[in-house]
């Protein structure tokens, strides 16, 4: 009798250890990419099946017991969840039940078009890129933000954003817009007003400067050229706007035929700033525009040593001299390359 009792005790102990191991032991395996995604509207059965199919759990018996005890089976929360190797089933259920998902790190640097932004969103979030482009092009939706389909990209300040994977497009855009509102401090707004520009105009001008140069020293000077042209009623004649108008960002040289391309963004055809930005400029470039010095410069052209900087001129004669020096150097460079 004692022997039977001892066996029962041992079996109960083994069962207890086995159960404890499956509930509290490191039985969970991280999936490829370490994140587990639950789409909006997913059923509990689908969550169980996906966990097992992705080899995150080896079986669903203990998961199911814990999930039902925690009432997770009727409270599934969509999201992107980080699964750690060696996680316990208990902690897995607790994380999913609480909806403690890991946000997506959305890194925005230079983006040129609404389509590029929509594509990026579609690649990183549950929301489809088509939903995003429809939102960005819908003037009825954008008027709530005092924006339209041309100016909408001024709401995008290059930065790193933490946004939940299952956030709808309106929520994603709202996060970007909130960052824009924080960026435009009272001081920055005052600087814009001092130059007789609103924040959208500053952003748009900064987008052109961004495409013109990556040299900080030249950014403010180039901005001063464009401001002077606007004040004199001249056309900006900015090459990057032609590339944007044509959606041909690989153009190396702008030819006469390109200048005739009909578009409100082609500043060889239209006076003043284009109706919206041609890329998302960095905060550094925006500040360079706001802090642009007062100059009499009307023209600029790349220096003949190809160091990335420009020569600036106050009159056309001086500009022609610099332009000829650059063209001569460029022709020589091409000749040397062809001779190789």
Residues 314 and 243 both lie in one domain = no
> Based on the structure, what is the number of domains in the chain?
4
Round the average pLDDT of the chain to a whole number and report it. Answer: 90
Asked if residue 309 is part of any domain, the answer here is yes
Residues 192 and 227 both lie in one domain = yes
Which of these, 46, 42, 44, 43, lies nearest to 54 by C-alpha position? Answer: 46
Residues 271 and 204 both lie in one domain = yes
State the residue range of the domain holding 39.
Answer: 25-98
Asked if residue 9 is part of any domain, the answer here is no
Residues 224 and 268 both lie in one domain = yes
Residues 153 and 243 both lie in one domain = no
Mean of pLDDT values over 143-157: 95
Tell me the pLDDT tens digit for each residue of 252-298. Answer: 888 888 889 999 999 999 999 999 999 999 999 999 999 999 999 99
pLDDT value for 87: 87
Q: Of 39, 70, 98, which residue is a domain's last? A: 98
pLDDT value for 124: 96
Tell me the pLDDT tens digit for each residue of 68-105. Answer: 888 988 889 999 999 998 888 889 989 999 999 999 99
Residues 176 and 127 both lie in one domain = yes
What's the pLDDT band for 18 if we cut at 50, 70, 90?
Answer: very low
Residues 230 and 269 both lie in one domain = yes
Has residue 16 got a pLDDT over 60? no
Asked if residue 268 is part of any domain, the answer here is yes
Asked if residue 246 is part of any domain, the answer here is yes
Asked if residue 16 is part of any domain, the answer here is no
pLDDT value for 3: 57
Residues 70 and 50 both lie in one domain = yes
Tell me the pLDDT tens digit for each residue of 117-135. Answer: 999 999 999 999 999 999 9
Instruction: Give the ranges where 99-164 is alpha helix by DSSP (H).
Output: 114-124, 129-136, 139-142
CATH number, domain containing residue 33? 3.30.1490.480
Element (H, E) at 299: strand 299-302
Residues 129 and 196 both lie in one domain = no
User: Which pair of tokens denotes residue 157?
Assistant: 């300040």
Asked if residue 211 is part of any domain, the answer here is yes
How long, in residues, is the chain? 340
Percent of the chain with pLDDT over 90: 73
Has residue 39 got a pLDDT over 50? yes
pTM equals 0.88
Residues 192 and 262 both lie in one domain = yes
Which of these, 283, 289, 284, lies nearest to 223 by C-alpha position? Answer: 289
In the block, tokens 């905060």 appear at 283
What's the pLDDT band for 25 if we cut at 50, 70, 90?
Answer: low
Residues 292 and 193 both lie in one domain = yes
Tell me the pLDDT tens digit for each residue of 158-217. Answer: 999 999 999 999 999 999 999 999 999 999 999 999 999 999 999 999 999 999 999 999
Q: Of 61, 81, 98, which residue is a domain's last? A: 98
Which of these, 126, 138, 107, lies nearest to 168 by C-alpha position? Answer: 126
Q: Of 181, 205, 223, which residue is a domain's last? A: 181
Coil, strand, or helix at residue 335?
Answer: helix
């Amino acid at each position: 009798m004692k022997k039977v009792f001892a066996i029962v005790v041992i079996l109960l102990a083994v069962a207890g250890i086995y159960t404890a191991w499956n509930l509290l032991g490191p039985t969970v395996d991280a999936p490829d990419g370490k994140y587990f995604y639950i789409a909006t509207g997913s059923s509990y059965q689908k969550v169980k099946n996906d966990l097992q199919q992705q080899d995150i759990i080896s079986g669903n018996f203990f998961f199911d017991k814990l999930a039902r005890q925690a009432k997770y089976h009727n409270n599934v929360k969509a999201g992107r969840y980080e699964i750690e190797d060696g996680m316990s089933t208990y902690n897995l259920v607790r994380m999913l039940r609480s909806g403690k998902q890991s946000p997506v790190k959305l890194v925005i640097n230079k983006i040129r078009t609404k389509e590029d932004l929509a594509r990026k969103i579609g690649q990183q979030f549950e929301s489809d890129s088509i939903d995003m482009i429809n939102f960005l092009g819908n003037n009825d939706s954008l008027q709530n933000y005092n924006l339209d389909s041309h100016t909408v990209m001024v709401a995008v300040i290059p930065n790193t954003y933490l946004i939940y994977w299952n956030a709808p497009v309106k929520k994603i855009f709202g996060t970007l817009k909130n960052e824009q509102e924080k960026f435009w401090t009272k001081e920055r707004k005052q600087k814009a007003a001092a130059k007789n520009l609103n924040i959208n105009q500053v952003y748009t001008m900064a987008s052109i400067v961004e495409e013109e140069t990556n040299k900080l020293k030249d950014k403010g000077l180039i901005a001063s050229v464009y401001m002077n042209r606007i004040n004199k009623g001249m056309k900006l004649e900015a090459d990057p706007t032609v590339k944007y108008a044509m959606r041909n960002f690989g153009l190396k040289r702008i030819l006469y035929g390109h200048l005739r391309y009909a578009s409100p963004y082609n500043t060889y055809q239209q006076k003043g700033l284009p109706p919206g930005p041609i890329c998302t400029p960095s905060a550094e470039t925006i500040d360079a525009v706001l802090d642009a010095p007062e100059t009499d410069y009307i023209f600029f052209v790349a220096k003949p040593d190809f160091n990335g900087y420009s020569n600036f001129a106050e009159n056309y004669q001086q500009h022609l001299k610099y332009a000829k020096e650059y063209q001569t150097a460029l022709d020589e460079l091409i000749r040397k390359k062809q001779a190789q």
